[in-house]
C-alpha cells in the first residue's frame, strides 16, 4: 500500500513542526509540504497533489475555511481535516459546509490525529454525532427534501443511519445485510446526492429534515 501524502497548514511554527514530526513518525504517512496560510496551502496542494490536508481555521490572509472551499471544489480534491483550537460551532459548521471531511481539536492525542488522517483518507466522516446535531440545528439552512426523491427506501434508511454516525458494520447489522451491500448503498447515495463523502451526507440528512435534531 502506498503512503498517504499529507500537507500541513498552520500559521504557528511550533504546531507545524509538531504535526510534521508526528505524521512522519508513521511509516504509512508522509508529509509532502507545509503551509503557513490558506493561499500557500492552495498552491502547495496544486503542486504536490496530497491525499489529505490538515487545515487550521484562523490564519492570516486566506483562512482555513475559505481555503477548504477552494480545495474541495477542485478536480482530484484532497480530503481536508480541519484542526481547531476551540470547539466552536461556527468553525465546525463552516468547515463542513466548505467540504471538509471532519474536524479535530488540536489537543487531541497523537494516536487520534494519526487515526483521523486515515479515517478521512478512506472517505469516512470524522464527526462527533452530538456536536453535529447541535451545530446543524443552529446553522444549517433548510434544503428542499426533493433531492432525496432519487433514493430508494433502503438507501433512505442507510442515509438516516449515516447521519446518526453509524459505521458500515453497524448499518449492516441494523438492516440485516452484508457490509459489502452497505458499501454499495453508500456509493449509490453519494452519486445520487452528489456528495463527496460521508460528511457531506450527514449535512444533507439534517438540512433536508431526514434527521431532526433533538429538542433542548
Is residue 22 within 8 Å of residue 56, measured between CB atoms?
no
Best-predicted range by mean pLDDT (29-33, 103-107, 108-112, 167-171): 29-33
pLDDT of 48 over the 70 cut: yes
47: containing domain? 4-126
Residues 122 and 155 in one domain: no
CB-side exposure of 40: number of CA atoms within 13 Å? 15
CA 97 to chain centre: 10
pLDDT at residue 157, as a whole number:
96
pLDDT at residue 88, as a whole number:
65
Mean pLDDT of 119-139: 68
pLDDT at residue 58, as a whole number:
86
pTM: 0.74
On whether residue 193 sits in a domain, the answer given is yes
Residues 155 and 195 in one domain: yes
Query: What residues have CB less than 8 Å from 44, skipping those under 6 apart?
Result: 7, 33, 34, 35
On whether residue 182 sits in a domain, the answer given is yes
On whether residue 78 sits in a domain, the answer given is yes
Mean pLDDT of 12-33: 95
DSSP-assigned letters across all residues of 54-79: EEESS-SSS-HHHHHHHHHTSTTPPE
CA 214 to chain centre: 23
On whether residue 18 sits in a domain, the answer given is yes
Is residue 132 within 8 Å of residue 206, measured between CB atoms?
yes
Residues 174 and 201 in one domain: yes
On whether residue 214 sits in a domain, the answer given is no
Residues 64 and 19 in one domain: yes
Burial grade of 85 (CB within 10 A; 0-12, 13-18, 19 or more): middle
On whether residue 215 sits in a domain, the answer given is no
pLDDT at residue 129, as a whole number:
53
- For residue range 204-216, list pLDDT tens digits in order: 887 888 877 554 4
- Which CATH number do you get for residue 147? 1.10.10.10
Strand-pair partners of 126: 102
User: Structurally, how many domains does the chain consist of?
Assistant: 2
Amino acid at each position: 500500500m502506498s503512503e498517504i501524502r499529507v500537507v500541513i497548514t498552520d500559521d504557528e511554527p511550533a504546531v507545524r513542526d509538531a504535526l510534521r514530526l508526528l505524521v512522519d513518525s508513521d511509516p504509512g504517512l508522509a508529509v509532502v509540504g507545509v503551509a503557513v496560510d490558506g493561499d500557500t496551502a492552495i498552491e502547495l496542494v496544486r503542486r504536490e497533489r496530497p491525499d489529505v490536508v490538515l487545515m487550521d481555521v484562523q490564519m492570516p490572509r486566506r483562512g482555513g475555511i475559505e481555503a477548504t472551499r477552494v480545495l474541495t471544489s477542485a478536480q482530484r480534491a484532497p480530503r481536508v481535516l480541519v484542526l481547531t483550537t476551540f470547539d466552536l460551532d461556527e468553525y465546525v459548521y463552516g468547515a463542513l459546509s466548505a467540504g471538509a471531511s471532519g474536524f479535530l481539536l488540536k489537543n487531541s492525542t497523537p494516536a487520534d490525529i494519526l487515526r483521523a488522517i486515515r479515517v478521512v483518507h478512506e472517505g469516512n466522516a470524522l464527526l462527533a454525532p452530538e456536536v453535529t446535531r447541535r451545530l446543524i440545528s443552529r446553522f444549517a439552512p433548510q434544503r428542499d427534501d426533493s433531492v432525496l426523491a432519487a433514493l430508494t427506501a433502503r438507501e433512505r434508511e442507510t442515509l438516516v443511519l449515516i447521519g446518526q454516525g453509524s459505521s458500515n458494520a453497524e448499518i449492516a447489522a441494523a438492516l440485516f445485510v452484508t457490509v459489502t451491500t452497505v458499501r454499495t448503498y453508500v456509493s449509490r447515495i453519494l452519486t445520487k446526492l452528489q456528495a463527496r463523502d460521508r460528511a457531506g451526507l450527514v449535512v444533507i440528512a439534517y438540512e433536508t429534515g431526514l434527521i431532526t435534531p433533538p429538542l433542548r
